Structure 1
Amino acid sequence: MMWDWHASPAARDLAVRPHVCDIRLPGVDSLLLTGATGFIGGNVMVAAINAGLARRLLCLVRGSDTADALARLRENAVQCGLLRSRVNWLTEDNVLLGALDSDFPPAVVARLSGVSQVINCAAMASFSTDPQVTRINVRDTLRFASRFAGSTALRRFVHVGTAMACGTQRGTRVSEQDAGHDDTSHLVPYTRSKQEVEVLLRRSLPDLPLVVARPSIVVGHTVLGTQPSASIFWLFRIIHQARRYTAGPHTRIDVISADDCAQALLRLAVKPGLRFDAYHLSAGARAPTIAQVVAAMDEAAASEDAPAYRKCPASELPALALDVARTERISNRRLIERALRLYAGFAELGYVFDNRRIREEINFEPLSITDYVSECMRTSRGVGILEQMSWDFKS
């Protein structure tokens, strides 16, 4: 019988008594989460708390002291949708002070030795060329994972990669076997770093109970829109306004929400047995086309008789960038143009990431962006394009 999160006694108990903050799931003694103050990690934290795992949750967090780290955790939890009535479920017991590259004191090492599951969301998720991208995503991640080599308590180490670890030389339908090689080309250091660390984790730590989860494009939240993060949604806004880009109208765009992604990561971490060691968290064959997303945005904006979206040549990008800069009153037109050229490289690939593994493993059915793009638009009102871009080009 397929394991069913919703049918489990713990999940039924939580549905009946939603005030419960400590529910026992088989085999989950201590769940360690990294990146909890980030976008995906913050949503995983909220999912874990809402699933009744608050007292079994440890979060690796930077801070001047434990109280400061806890304040950061609570702030991001609310940002990612945790009810304020549950914020106090997060206490200093949930905090492990430090970062991936920290030299931990004996007391922390002792707590790490009892961890039964790890969800490693920590990364520098930036498309900038900052050398920290490689340092954090490869060297520091490998060092952190090595702490669990030989652990007798650890049952699973879920590492969050990216579906674009496959590089740029694949067909439009990408399977999990298409990542993890050394000879792929990449558009940005971030995706290369994720591919590199995945290879090193498998080679250097063969006994680590590693499962790699590779999200596709994570945009917005099905309920909160861009409140937790505006990452990448600025591009959708530009395409919607400009009615053109370098990818064709029938090009599919494989997008999932942060909350669907978080639920999948949590389930992969706590399910007693898994059939594979790598999964795409993606829309897969149900990924909408660019034209469908634009149409959904038109409907949300109550736009009537809007011009049809069209594919444009790369030679039009300077003019497109100029239009955006004028509308948004941005002085640096070249910044907009560089960003549009960079993302054009991804959009033109038209990748659809096969998600049959995750659908069969945990009944994963992510909501299409066409169904929640209205919330992303609502929460973007009054927010500038440049401000939203900062989520992806931070350094």
Structure 2
Amino acid sequence: MEKEFHVAIVPSPGIGHLIPLVEFAKRLKNDHNISATFIIPNDGPLSISQNAFLDSLPNGLAYLLLPPVNFDDLPPNTRIETRINLTVTRSLDSLREVFKSLVAETKMVALFTDMFGTDVFDVAIESGVPPYLFFPSSAMSLSFSFYLPTLDQMVSYRLDCLRWLDGQPRGSVLYISFGSGGTLSTVQLNELAMGLELSKQRFLWVVRSPNDQSNSTFFDSHGQKDLLDFLPKGFLERTQGNGLVVPSWAPQAQILSHSSTGGFLTHCGWNSILETIVHGVPIISWPLYAEQKMNALYLTEGLKVALRPIVGENGIVGHLEISRVVRGLMEGEEGKTIRSRIQVLKDSAANVLGEDGCSRKTLEHLASKLKHKV
């Protein structure tokens, strides 16, 4: 039997880099019968959410974990961007062997990687396979992250948070998440908790253990501490019924698409921005690292679909300011104006992803090009 068309995909570390590539691969498989294997560089055990996500890949999409690289020679203050790049470059030898085997076993038509993985181009070229850079930006990237996978195999609290949303009034819940790697200091996390309680608004908060050294935890694959160790004393009891705290991870696309969700407090990572615009959910922007401050400025000053809390002179957003912004988005006049504006963007996104949309047509063109390379 003739082999089907196949592509290899090498994502750089971070589930936020992996998810758009999986959406891309699902489109290729479902619409054009091009299967894919994800070859994943890493520096040790993957997180619970990453493992669960990879194990839920649909038929036609497979993954292979490369041997973990060692970072014992790096200084403790090495930047996250450097660690991401080195994870890829130090995996090239093992990637080369895996890729050669895949080329021999499949009808390999391309190798895709993201902006941090361009060193893998040489591996593809050596085997006579065309390399492609996956760089989703602006409207085009909407097609790659329109929906997260249906996470039927995820851990049980996924169902709990969606069931909780089912019981809330329409548009009444503020969803709070700082992405797959974002975290707050102990002081800031406590101020956020007090601000949410003071606002009296309903909320669903994806919370992660505080980190007083960094605002990101991309390379922390260990479990959470007891929530009661760092949330304000009595916070869970006082907000019971009005709010729900979910540790570490939640199915973001499903939450943003839920009718009870009326706002999104986000770190302004690009994946989160695309998802909230596609679902028409108003924004509170709280950038942490990388390009997020630029994204936040674009949302607040350019598109005018977000509110941004004012940071105090001590570098902390206080609980009174948090309460003010949350109430403003969820029940104030500012929130009503933002809802109107973001609905226009939601409609535009739907048009781009429609049957005759430019995003769908661009992907059709790419799939045709890949097939005719053989």
Fold shared by both chains (TM-score > 0.5): no
Q: TM-score, normalised by structure 2?
A: 0.31
Q: TM-score, normalised by structure 1?
A: 0.30
